[in-house]
Amino acid sequence: MKPFKKQVQTEETQVHTETADTAQSDASPLPEAPGKTVIAQGMALSGHLRGNGTFRVEGTVEGALEIAGVVIVAVTGTVRGPIHADSVYVAGCVEGDIFAKDLLQLEMTGDISGNIMTAAFLIYDGGQLNGCCTMTRAGQEPTFLY
């Protein structure tokens, strides 16, 4: 009985490893950070949010995000409102302007409907931007008129 159980565990490990390798080859991994705030899939939040650290959206946020740190919009995530952060990673949907002080990364599944302002912009094949892009100097503060 014990050898059979060990064999099943080995097969499960192999399947998990193959899945992880496949996912990495299709798109870049979104950053993971300890101590992050997560709006989970199926959850909705409305309002103007300010804070520090990493903010991950897997559900829906309606309102402005002002984060001194990183904003991650996961594949299942939607943000309806402007985003202001040091770095922004979009794999889901953003309907609003984005200011990324250092970096904006638009993943292959990402969709942005709004204008962007950033010092560095990385877009993967398949990522959609419907708006204007303005490049800034690294660390430059935005000039938004909203």
pLDDT (tens digit per residue) in 56-71: 999 999 999 999 999 9
DSSP class of residue 30 equals P
- Residue 19's pLDDT band (boundaries 50, 70, 90)? very low
- At residue 61, φ and ψ (nearest 5 deg) are -125, 125
Hey, what are 23's tokens? 């996912």
d(CA 72, CA 105): 10
- At residue 69, φ and ψ (nearest 5 deg) are 155, -135
Query: pTM above 0.85?
Result: no
What is the pLDDT averaged over residues 121-125? 95
d(CA 76, CA 27): 15
- Residue 137's pLDDT band (boundaries 50, 70, 90)? confident
What is the pLDDT averaged over residues 39-58? 93
Using DSSP's 3-state secondary structure scheme, residue 25 falls into helix
pLDDT (tens digit per residue) in 98-119: 999 999 999 999 999 999 999 9
Inter-residue contact 90 to 105 (CB < 8 Å): yes
